[in-house]
Structure formats: structure tokens, C-alpha cells
Structure 1
Amino acid sequence: MTSTTAPAPTGDLPTTARLLERIREDWAQLRPDLDPQPMLMVLLLDRLHSALSRRIEQTYFESDINASNWDLLLTLLRSAPPEGLTPSELSQLSAISGASITNRVARLLDKKLVERVVSAQDRRSAQIRLTPTGRALTEKLLTPHVENETQVLSVLTQEEQRTLERLALKLVSHLECQTAQE
């Protein structure tokens, strides 16, 4: 059984709400026994993530920085002592996985936004810290970044933001626990 509703013209992209309703209707026709709610919720969260990413990237996109670079710059600004952080510490304090840190740091080194300082005690060990240029750029972009995020969340009341945070933490904690057990 197929849907009798005509697809939206390509020039008229559906909003997420219309898309979800269309998918719900299509599943109801094809498989009335199937509850599509889990698929719809994950799709909604995925679209939310994509929309948030596009909006937040506007702050630093013109500076030729991507989300991973921005996260590392913010991590170094807020968490690093003057001597910097080791790549392992940087990985633990940022949203970037350990395997990706080396590539991300290399890109920031190329842009002269961070520097690698080799330990005098152990030549195999190094710390990463912001250069004056990196610090100035991060400081310059920080206020517009926070203002952008504040504007994005302004549609939600403070109570709704706390509820969203609580639910998101519950879901991510559940997923992290499952991943740790695998």
C-alpha cells in the first residue's frame, strides 16, 4: 500500500512539522501496526541538531573556523592554565574525541591560533595553548556567539530551558551508559 498524498514540490520544502506529519501518515497507511514515534523523535532531534549547528556556525564561519575548531578554542580559553593543556586533557575537556584531537590541533596550528609547547622535562610531551592571535579571535567571537545562542533559546521560557536540559541530560546519560557497556 502506498501513500495517495502527492509529494511536496521540490521548490516547496516541507517544514519539519509537516514532514513529520507526512511520515506519520505514510507509516499509518503502509504499516498501521507500527508505531513510528521513535523514528519521528530521532528524526526531529537530528533536524534540530542540524538547524542548531547551521545557526551557531554563523558566529565563527567567516573566520574560517568549524565547530570542532571553535570547541577547542573555547576549551583552551576557559580551561587551560597559562602553560596550556596536553592533547589528552584537551580531549577530556572538549566535545572532540581523542582520535580527532591531533587533526584539529594541526589545523589550528596551521592557522597560528594555537601553539604546541614541548615539555622541558619530557620531550615526548607537549601542551597546547592559545597564541595571542588565537586568544584575540576567540575573545572577539565569544560575545556574539553567546548572544546568538541566547537568541536561539529565547523562544523557550527559563522553565522550558531547564526541562529541555533535564530531558536531554537524561537521554544522553542513558546513551553514554549503553555505549560504555558495549
Structure 2
Amino acid sequence: MTKADEVTRILQEWSQSRPDLDFSPLAVFSRLHRVAKQLNRARGAAFEDAGLELWEFDVLAVLRRAGAPHRVSTKVLVSETMVTSGTMTNRIDRMVRRGLVVRTQNPDDGRGVLVEMTATGRDLVDRAVENLTAAEAALLSGMTRAERDRLASLLTKLSVVVSANE
């Protein structure tokens, strides 16, 4: 049996105050919100220990996952990190100054620019993802692999459902 959490108490109080309402959505989203706060703290620490900001990790992670030569268009970076092109330009400028990425000419389009990760960027993102996986594994340590898999499946379904309602 699952141990009660703070949300359980809150939902009981709401149910007593407003028995006419269905609080089952709050049972899900209040817990997600609280878990997200804890996750953000753990992620922030993991990235800070690696010498990166969260947004720098996001950009470098796209480049790292792209495979060698770890180079993509700004359009891909904008799409995958879900920021505006102006925000991405600012981020790339800052990362160039830090030596994490360089801009290169797109060989397929003389006007296009590609963003390529440097060796320094690769070292930092690799350290950050190692820190991240360890931190997130620690957060999930009280769950079995089967429970994690089931939760991941349910969260995937929730993500699809929520996205369809946008």
C-alpha cells in the first residue's frame, strides 16, 4: 500500500469543504506539480555541478543526441527546445562566448548557419547527463523497475492527452 502524502490531506480537506466537486484531477496534477519542483531542484544541482545552466544543457543535449559531428540548424534547436528564434540567437551568442558551441556555414545552403558543439561543450554535457541520470535514479529509488515503466507509460499517455487539448 502507498503511504499518504501531503496532497492526500489537501484532497480530503477539499472533499469535506466541497463534496460536490471531483478532485481526482488535482490528485494527479498537484502531485505532478510537487514532483516537478523537486525534480527541478535536483536537475539544477546536477547541471550546476557540471558547470551548466539548464538552458545550456537543453541546447547541448540536442547537439549531443544528433550524433557526430554534433551539428544542427538553429531551426532544429528552436523546435526541440521550444523557445523563440530570438531567444535561441541570444543563447547561441552566449554559448559561443563560453566556448561551448561554434557557428558554421551550412554546406547545403550558403546562407544557412549550423550550430556545432565544441569539445568543451561535449565534455560538460556528458558530465551533466551523468549527474542527471544519477540524480533522477535517486529520486526514483523507492520504485521498482516495473513501477517506473508503468508510470512512464501512464505519463506518456497523459502527455499525449494534455497536448491534444492545447
TM-score bin, normalised by smaller chain = 0.7 to 0.9
Q: Percent identity among equivalent residues?
A: 27
How much has 1:146 moved relative to structure 2? 2.2
**1:17 partnered with 2:5:** yes
Q: CA 1:166/1:172 → structure 2, altered by over 3 Å: closer, same or farther?
A: same
CA distance in 2, matches of 1:65, 1:51: 19
**1:178 partnered with 2:165:** yes
Answer yes or no: is the 8 Å Cα contact 2:59–2:77 preserved in 1. yes
* TM-score normalised by structure 2 residue count: 0.82
**1:125 partnered with 2:112:** yes
CA RMSD, Structure 1 to Structure 2 (Å): 2.3
Q: CA 1:109/1:150 → structure 2, altered by over 3 Å: closer, same or farther?
A: same
CA distance in 2, matches of 1:22, 1:156: 22
**1:79 partnered with 2:73:** no
Note the residue ranges of structure 2 that are not aligned, 5 or more in a row: none
CA distance in 1, matches of 2:164, 2:26: 21
Q: Which has the bigger relative contact order, CA under 8 A and spacing at least 6?
A: 2
* TM-score normalised by structure 1 residue count: 0.76
Answer yes or no: is the 8 Å Cα contact 1:88–1:98 preserved in 2. no
Q: 1:51 aligns with which of 33, 38, 48?
A: 38
Note the residue ranges of structure 1 that are not aligned, 5 or more in a row: 1-15
Q: How does 1:30-179 map to 2 (within 5 A)?
A: 30-82=17-69, 84-92=71-79, 94=80, 96-99=81-84, 100-119=87-106, 122-179=109-166
For this pair of structures, how many residues does the alignment match? 161
